[in-house]
Structure 1
């Protein structure tokens, strides 16, 4: 029977002012899409399209119209019968220009294909048999506030801390890192930092040398994306392992991805499905990176629990190792209640809890 669709804009409200090198976030605009078969409308799949302002290539004023157009072309089709067919259909409808929409379509269709149970991939995570280790995210702010965040994360059981840097005075940021290293043994706490491209090219090498004193696991995107020659030079002789993040946005097609990684040769890449074009695109990045011995991990991009749930289920599906960046579900006053729980530095799916879509009108 033919498919039917609907969608809704949903504004997520932060519990606090979330500081980044690109400014302070107070709310997050996202779009929830719903897909069902006319023969059984009570069974439906949910997906989320949540591009990031000033970063995603589909951060555009007409995004609602683009979503409506993609969904109108999905209507009256028959539900794909395999994940591969889902990826093909989502690619046809959204293409390279709408990565967040493509991810939302993939998720909604896979959810419906799996019975409308918020199961994107039927694996140990969604069966409550796997807890995924995650990093505790430290937002930018006053030094005292950041130190308190770190202390709270460690007390909550996180053994991997990710700190955003690049907006405070660099000396103050290194003071925070020095405090962490003096207070907590290196073997007990893994430290990651994320510069969001804030370092100037001429200062990046020096700052990496300074940061290397604090035995960091890695630094994300030290300089702004779109400077592959400079990034390649940094990665070729860096005292701190470098992870590409924003650099991956807008790179589509297996060959283009391979060329980028061959040129820059980073130590890691970070995969945000909303930003890089969804599940199938992430699968390509993983295959290419692993063939070149480049490490990787998954990170959410401030999605609601609908998108976060999908990315969590992607983790075992793609055989992700180590700490993932999946701790953003607790950021909002009005997130969609879900079985996702964080405990002891891990995220898990509590199958005894239920989804609550009362706040949605989709």
Structure 2
């Protein structure tokens, strides 16, 4: 097997804002694995290591050297470096291997045509711009996700009222990205949100504030989901202990951040033991990573909740792919081909 990697800068179509930061672009890494004898990587599998700078536990000076060492070890038959704590590298390897084993057709985990219900995501912007986004998203999607914690309370209240006017039956999911640092602050906002019939709120307080999170989960009038709380928790026993202690209603699975696909399976098992639901969410991956998450989700048995997958439309230079939207579902179009970019590859 041969391995190589390349860097790719994704440019947002807008100023992407969360309660943590604002972004104009995002760098990602592609990993290709080719079977023995395929020197030109014509049947290679593609994976994406979508390092999330400033949030991922793996973000640091050793990241790129570890990716380089991983490819070198594969190419020279050396022992592989330990990437247990490198979630995005784990996802990239798992995706590229699965894609390679399916013939390099960008169909890792399942070759079935995708048809996955997803939520409509409303990004934080100015109040007026957010209202304009609602006009499109709230009319199109039955499940709406909106990021909160950046605007003033009265502006957020008006936004939620507007969603209800546009789509009275909408299922509204909130994502706070750890915006509230005290119990009083968190509960003040949560109780205000409750007036608008909220389905759930993701990560209302910063990660690792276990006592605070436990109290918010206990007191909240609607369900709380753990998101960033899962980052950096890699051991199976640690996963079980965390969910047993906090008892969330839901967990949000981002393979890029929570241990790749193998780690996500462990989280699903741990969630089942405490009766917590789950859904997958993309983490600003390109279409390569989005396709992998969608196909992995589709491969899992049983009924699933509406997923938090992106649409691939947030970047001006995303990888052209068969991924598309049909109604409220992310689909793969059989009549559209992938168009992979020409990249400067490193093959150590």
TM-score bracket, normalised by the shorter chain, equals: over 0.9
Aligned to 1:290: 272
> Map of 1:170-319 to 2, 5 A cutoff?
170-186=153-169, 189-201=170-182, 202-319=184-301
Helix, strand or coil: the match of 1:296?
strand
1:25 aligns with 2:23: yes
Cα offsets for 1:142-193 (capped at 9, x unmatched): 11111111111134x211111011111122111100111133222xx11111
Structure 1 Cα separation of the partners of residues 220 and 23 of structure 2: 31
Structure 2 Cα separation of the partners of residues 328 and 21 of structure 1: 21
1:97 aligns with 2:82: no
Q: Is the 8 A contact 2:311 2:324 kept in 1?
A: no
Q: What's the CA shift for 1:328?
A: 4.4
Structure 1 Cα separation of the partners of residues 325 and 230 of structure 2: 28
Structure 1 segments unaligned to the other structure (5+ residues):
79-88
1:141 aligns with 2:125: yes
Q: What's the CA shift for 1:77?
A: 4.9
Aligned to 1:114: 102
Structure 2 segments unaligned to the other structure (5+ residues):
none
Structure 2 Cα separation of the partners of residues 30 and 16 of structure 1: 18
Q: How many residues align?
A: 341
Q: What's the CA shift for 1:66?
A: 1.3
Aligned to 2:45: 45
Aligned to 1:321: 304
Q: Is the 8 A contact 1:150 1:161 kept in 2?
A: no
Q: Is the 8 A contact 2:253 2:278 kept in 1?
A: yes
Aligned to 1:81: none
Q: Is the 8 A contact 2:66 2:81 kept in 1?
A: no
Q: What's the CA shift for 1:63?
A: 2.1
Aligned to 2:6: 8
Q: Is the 8 A contact 2:138 2:167 kept in 1?
A: no
Structure 2 Cα separation of the partners of residues 127 and 183 of structure 1: 35
User: Structure 1-normalised TM-score?
Assistant: 0.90
Helix, strand or coil: the match of 2:312?
helix
Q: Is the 8 A contact 1:211 1:240 kept in 2?
A: no
Cα offsets for 1:2-52 (capped at 9, x unmatched): x11111010000001011111111001100011112323421011111111
Structure 2 Cα separation of the partners of residues 328 and 302 of structure 1: 10
Q: What's the CA shift for 1:94?
A: 4.3
Q: Is the 8 A contact 1:135 1:326 kept in 2?
A: yes
- Judge which range, 11-20 or 61-70, deviates more: 61-70
Q: What's the CA shift for 1:343?
A: 2.2
Helix, strand or coil: the match of 1:275?
coil
Q: Is the 8 A contact 2:311 2:325 kept in 1?
A: no
Cα offsets for 1:32-89 (capped at 9, x unmatched): 01111232342101111111121001122342211010111222559xxxxxxxxxx9
- Judge which range, 314-323 or 302-311, deviates more: 314-323
User: Structure 2-normalised TM-score?
Assistant: 0.94
Q: What's the CA shift for 1:361?
A: 3.8
